[in-house]
Amino acid sequence: MTQISVVIPVFNEEESLPELTHWISRVMNERGFSYEVILINDGSTDRSWEVIQNLSAQNIQLKGLNFTRNFGKSAALDAGFRRAQGDVVITMDADLQDSPDEIPGLYEMVSGNGLDVVSGWKKERHDPWSKTIPSKFFNGVTRWISGIQLHDFNCGLKAYRNKVVKNIHIYGEMHRYIPLLAKWNGFGKIGEKVVQHQPRKYGYSKFGLERFLNGFLDLITVSFVHRYKKKPMHFFGLLGTLSFLTGFVITAWLIFEKIYGLSKGLKVREIVDQPLFFLALVALIIGVQLFVTGFIAELMTSNQSKEIEYKIDEEVNFDF
C-alpha cells in the first residue's frame, strides 16, 4: 500500500528535477514512507522529459507522463490524480520553491487529523511585488466568493485525501480552486499549513498577469457551474421569465393606451411607431431564446460525459 503520491507538473524545469527528486526521496526514506512521485511533462521545450526518463530508470518510485504538447497545469494535475495510488496525494511545483521537507507535516494533517484537503500558505514569499500584490487581491476575492478562509489558494503545495482527487475533474485554470471543488463535492474538512517558500534557484518564473484574469474568469465559471450544473433552467428560465414578462407588460400597456385613446377620441400614434414597441419585441424574443437555451442545457446535462482534454505520448514506470 502506497502511503504518499507526490504529483508534480513539469514545464521547462530540466535543471531543478534531479535536485528535487533526490530531495523528495531523501525525505521519504528518512521517514520510512512508501511513496511514488508522478512527474507530468507538460509539453516542455527543453530536456525535461529526457531527464525524467533518466531519473525514472534509476528510481522505480519515480513515474513519468509526457504530454504531446502544453495543455496547462490543471490538465497535468488531473492526469496525475487519475494515476495516483497513495492514501494521501501531495502536489508541488517543480521549480524548487516548494520544500519537500513540508511533506511529512502535510501528510500528518490529512492522515492524522482527518482533513480532506490541506493547503499550503506561503506566509513569507520570495517573489516580486508585481506577483505578490495581485496575489493578495486575488486571494481576498476568492475567499469572499467561496467562503473558504484560506490565505493562499494558488499555492502549489497541497495535500489531499485520495478519494478527494478521484472525485473531482479539473481543467482550464481551475487548479487554483481545487479546495472549492472539493468542498462542493462534499469534502469540506479543509485546513491550512504555513509552508516555507524557497527563492527560485534555476530558470525563470512562468508567471504572467494574464493568469489572474484567467483565474477570475474561471472562478466565475466554477461558481456558475456549481450552482446551475444540475438545474440550468433555474438560471436561464428565471432570466427568460423576467425578459418575457417585461415585453408582455410593455405590449399590454401599449395596446391599452391605444384602445383607451381611441375610446376617448384622442389622436394616438400607431403602436409600431413607438420606440417602446421595439423594446417590448426584443424583450419577448430574448425571453423565448433564454427558455430555449435552458431546455437545451437541461438536455445536455442529462446526457453529459466527462471528456479528457489532454493527450499522453509516453509513460514510464506505470504498471497500468
142 compared with 167, residue with greater pLDDT: 167
Query: What is the residue range of 48's domain?
Result: 4-227
pLDDT for 35-53, tens place per residue?
Answer: 999 999 999 999 999 999 9
Q: Do 45 and 127 fall within a single domain? A: yes
Would residue 109 count as lying in a domain? yes
**Final residue of a structural domain among 227, 262, 279:** 227
Q: Do 150 and 260 fall within a single domain? A: no
Q: Report how far residue 315's alpha carbon sits from residue 65's, in angstroms, rounded to the nearest whole number.
A: 5
The model's confidence at residue 305, banded by pLDDT at 50, 70 and 90, is: very low
**Final residue of a structural domain among 167, 195, 227:** 227
Q: What CATH number does the domain containing 109 carry? A: 3.90.550.10
Q: Do 16 and 160 fall within a single domain? A: yes
Residue 225, Cβ neighbours under 10 Å: how many? Answer: 14
**Final residue of a structural domain among 203, 227, 251:** 227
- The residue behind cell 480552486 is 177
The grid coordinates of residue 160 equal 489531499
Q: Do 55 and 146 fall within a single domain? A: yes
Q: Do 180 and 276 fall within a single domain? A: no
8 A C-beta contact, residue 96 and residue 189: no
Would residue 310 count as lying in a domain? no
pLDDT at position 23 over 60? yes
Would residue 21 count as lying in a domain? yes
Q: Do 58 and 159 fall within a single domain? A: yes
Would residue 318 count as lying in a domain? no
Q: Identify the pLDDT of residue 141.
A: 75
Q: Do 71 and 166 fall within a single domain? A: yes
